[in-house]
Chain A
């Protein structure tokens, strides 16, 4: 990568971020009140910024078994014609040994290449269909938050790496069920958005607001589950008719909805109340995550 052009003006102020790598100094973000109702409690997650020196900003997030790493490059100059606003791109990749949720269904075209799902016809590693879908969601969700007008003639690139998923490494059990991957994918996407927002803050990109997202599942009997988890797999075996949705918000800007992705299991329609439940639930959860992220960022400034 050409880093030679990245020199900023001489009077740059370097924001006071980044903490020592001494493990004793790092405290996991477990600021959730323990008295809260457990149904509405979100999973504990570990977050850290500034881990990649090469990038302008980066964030690392661990939640459950999932590990996500995001690096932000930019503003970088673009060659060629003049543009008055920065361009923005997102690329999400799974590490090659990780089973992607639903890869048997969606990554079919790539399977012709000797089963190596990450290599395309040229032998180059391109993004799979699932990776492209996540990238598109994150891009759509973060795009409204960045003040692109401030950066003419430049580009922002976000690179997301999934280091580990809930499923763990190459879990090849013959699970013929089609809908569970969707849920897993949405859970992952939810945390990817949260992590990417923090990485953008770490890169000191000018933002309108920090985008945070939440995930909610409603069952056919009208129950609303916050932040559904995979742990209880044996009890939540394939409920027909449950709807799961991720929604991302800019909470300081009137709870503007910037990203929505709703999937379900079993053939049912989506009603008004159900939709409201999902969106309100996601909003509430996004606020909690937002509070967590705020605390973390405030602490790291001290």
Chain B
């Protein structure tokens, strides 16, 4: 997995060509093929699993709980568990920070509002079973699928419970459960590798080792949004190529994401629709 100096130099040279020559014959804006499955956890409101060809795999569960709106600071709680890493390690903490920050600032909380007093709180649990490259975009794509297929039970009691002391009650029939919103497209993260003046979407583990810098860009409702930040993706190498980047590349990355991300969202939506038709609950 770790490249030798000769391999690194070869890969660096081919990636800094214009256009870059990527391993696997991908073009610069192309994602690696992925395989996904949704709604396989009967105990959760929504679930999704994404797997890449290199064996990287991530599972998301979305669970809901009814809370008194005033008693909580936020209606979304994100937890990430990466196999082989401690929960308080820098790696896991930063994944968690990024995902929380993305969802909290962009999630339309009106979808979770139940009555004037009560709301749903969503617990998004993420397990990264195995990964080779930086798993943030993998996690966020899986979260997209899980939120897209999340269903919440139908409220049957009064919406206006300002005067009433009762707790909300729900329909017993799971078939009545509603999706968050048909049109809702959750925000996602895209990781970009910077090498020379090239920007590479979704760098693989080999590419990460020769990158000069990395960018994390978020995308929601057909537009690039914040948070935007840079990151050192080349942690597996000894950072020999790591350097600063040109300001212009940030603007370019935003334009590229605006151009290509709608296709990603479209692909994910098609995937959930196809998964709906297939009627099996099996994970594999």
Q: Which A residues are closer than 8 A to B by beta carbons?
A: 83-85, 87, 104-106, 108-109, 120, 126-130, 132-133, 135-137, 139-140, 143-144, 148, 176, 178-179, 182, 243, 245, 249-250, 253-265, 267-270, 272, 275-276, 279, 283
Contact = CB atoms under 8 A, between A and B. Distances in A.
A127 B93 contact: yes
A84 B239 CA distance: 11
Given A262-B226, A263-B226, A269-B223, 20 more contacts: A83-B238, A109-B79, A128-B93, A136-B94, A136-B231, A140-B230, A143-B232, A144-B243, A144-B244, A182-B101, A249-B244, A258-B230, A260-B230, A260-B250, A263-B227, A270-B223, A270-B228, A270-B254, A279-B247, A279-B250
Contacts of A182: 101, 105
Interface string B76-108: 010100000001111001101100110011101
25 contacts: A83-B238, A104-B73, A105-B73, A105-B74, A127-B88, A127-B90, A129-B96, A132-B93, A133-B97, A136-B90, A140-B231, A144-B244, A245-B228, A249-B244, A256-B243, A257-B245, A258-B245, A259-B230, A261-B228, A267-B106, A268-B225, A270-B228, A272-B255, A275-B250, A276-B251
B101 A263 contact: yes
Contacts of A109: 79, 87
Given A133-B97, A139-B232, A176-B73, A84 B238 contact: yes
Given A129-B96, A129-B97, A256 B225 contact: no
B105 A263 contact: yes
A84 B237 CA distance: 12
Contact of A105 (B88, B100, B244): B100
Contact of A260 (B74, B101, B224, B228): B228
B227 A262 contact: yes
B12 interface: no
Contacts of A245: 228
A126 B88 contact: yes
B196 to A, nearest CB: 13
